[in-house]
Structure 1
């Protein structure tokens, strides 16, 4: 067990210029052998991994966590600044983070660990950067799942119409008012109550972690770019297509960790993925919800580290 890191630097903020945008990231155990990048879910940020980073750093892992663009303390650009925000953009952000931040310190293949949206970003990055990725741990993986490729019959015009409608809808939808009401009407706590099975884990620290980025004046414009971007993605950036792409080579070992009480993304989705893609390993955690890494960190850490320890890459 390696404890060669400064505990006072856990969640210490670093900033990286990515294509003109300020990106916030942290690292624990930077000089350790096995690089891991922790990717948060929608509405969260790098500090959502506060109960996990030190555990892995003590086990010779360089534990990186970063705020995806639009979240946390990273810049929150809108349509005019960046166009549409989706997992293609976030996947590119992670690829460049590996190249520009991780590689100067560590040449080993990188493990990606994601929660929800972060899992989709990890999958997206792994497909286009598979030679650099040792494994993906997804807990859980969102998106619709199809067993076979969808038949596309004359859908181009329909998609163009739908995408235009979505764009116009969200341009005029009063997200500024919605976010204001969310912060004032205690809706964030209600959302966390749905996400967490163990309600005692919902404390002021967690609520503050989720609320602070929403209060920034740029949050609505960035959310608008996300709503449009995620709603109008091409099929090649959807989970079913990405999983099929990764299945073709099976170069990247893939672990799903799923709470059996997940109200946001039900367990049957995870079982569906494991059924369609036999190379994917599914681990079910009883009596846990959507954020196992924070709700049951000791269980999540133990399962994840055993998977990492057993990888042939290291």
Structure 2
């Protein structure tokens, strides 16, 4: 029997060597413009599992595990490799140049948004446009801490830098019930917090080195903010934001939409911090329309 149902494209998982470290990425689709999906803190390319097959119907889709997350390497932080947006931005820029070898659309969620912006600043010629889903505002940044938190938060960070205390703290976090509780706070649609989702976040957190990666990042209150990067962006930017995001308030997100590069800001009603996983039926059509609007069929190689 012949049906008109679309073919579901299953992604393939591959390894790319970056600075001597294995980096896992997924790819799907054989035609159309190229899209690179970038996950948020503690997540991986699997957090895009509800978007990859849909976007791959008309596009070549890549989703990457940033170094330190997912199935990618988790080397101990050092002077030559630290877990900062500059590092991840360079990883994405290098991936685009070495693996994709053509201009791309970048789509990020949470801290993945800042990574996408940083990669665009590093090499603007390789990026066609950027989509930001609930961009991390970095509310723990030293420039945003106010009142008593400005005094207490640095002390908390110093405590976590102690290996014994920091690793004990991370071990308590890397538990199924704790991850589920955090997801229930991040997701407005609680039915989207499934056992599969908990496992996606739990397994990488149990890898050797995961604690050092996490502690390196959360004890750093300096570096770039989205409002530092957006003025340097010249390509079109789309912003999607869950109205019920308890981590990154939409009111502050709307302030970012005032930068000239942001061409459209779309609120997602009743949705939390990870809309691509929580409400793919809303996000995927918006992304497909946006990709079609900015498609460059004869884009030259980088």
Given the two structures, how large is their TM-score scaled by the length of structure 1?
0.82
Paired position in structure 1 for 2:255: 272
Question: CA 1:276–1:295 in structure 2 vs 1: closer, same or farther (change >3 Å)?
Answer: same
Mapped to 2, the partners of 1:138 and 1:185 lie a distance apart of 28
Mapped to 1, the partners of 2:157 and 2:272 lie a distance apart of 33
Is the CA contact 2:175–2:202 (under 8 Å) kept in the aligned structure 1?
no
Mapped to 1, the partners of 2:132 and 2:21 lie a distance apart of 27
Mapped to 1, the partners of 2:157 and 2:248 lie a distance apart of 26
Paired position in structure 2 for 1:256: 239
Is the CA contact 1:79–1:224 (under 8 Å) kept in the aligned structure 2?
no
SS at match of 2:129: strand
Given the two structures, how large is their TM-score scaled by the length of structure 2?
0.85
Is the CA contact 1:46–1:72 (under 8 Å) kept in the aligned structure 2?
yes
Is the CA contact 2:37–2:106 (under 8 Å) kept in the aligned structure 1?
yes
Question: CA 1:263–1:304 in structure 2 vs 1: closer, same or farther (change >3 Å)?
Answer: same
Mapped to 2, the partners of 1:241 and 1:231 lie a distance apart of 15
Q: Deviations over 1:136-167 (max 9, x none)?
A: 0000111259xxxx9xxxxxxxxxxxxx9898
Matches within 5 A, 1:89-128: 89-103=87-101, 107=102, 109-128=103-122
**What are structure 1's unaligned runs of at least 5 residues?**
151-163
Paired position in structure 2 for 1:55: 54
Question: CA 1:131–1:279 in structure 2 vs 1: closer, same or farther (change >3 Å)?
Answer: same
Instruction: Identify the structure with the greater helix proportion.
Output: 1
**What are structure 2's unaligned runs of at least 5 residues?**
144-153, 298-302
Instruction: Choose which of 140, 159, 171 in structure 1 pairs with 2:161.
Output: 171
Paired position in structure 2 for 1:287: 270
Shift of 1:231: 2.0
Is 2:184 the counterpart of 1:193? yes
Instruction: Choose which of 276, 282, 290 in structure 2 pairs with 1:307.
Output: 290
Shift of 1:186: 1.4
Give aligned pairs, total.
Answer: 280
Is the CA contact 2:74–2:208 (under 8 Å) kept in the aligned structure 1?
no
Is 2:54 the counterpart of 1:71? no
Is the CA contact 2:32–2:60 (under 8 Å) kept in the aligned structure 1?
yes
SS at match of 1:220: helix
Mapped to 2, the partners of 1:167 and 1:284 lie a distance apart of 33
Paired position in structure 1 for 2:137: 143
Question: CA 1:131–1:178 in structure 2 vs 1: closer, same or farther (change >3 Å)?
Answer: same
Paired position in structure 2 for 1:181: 172
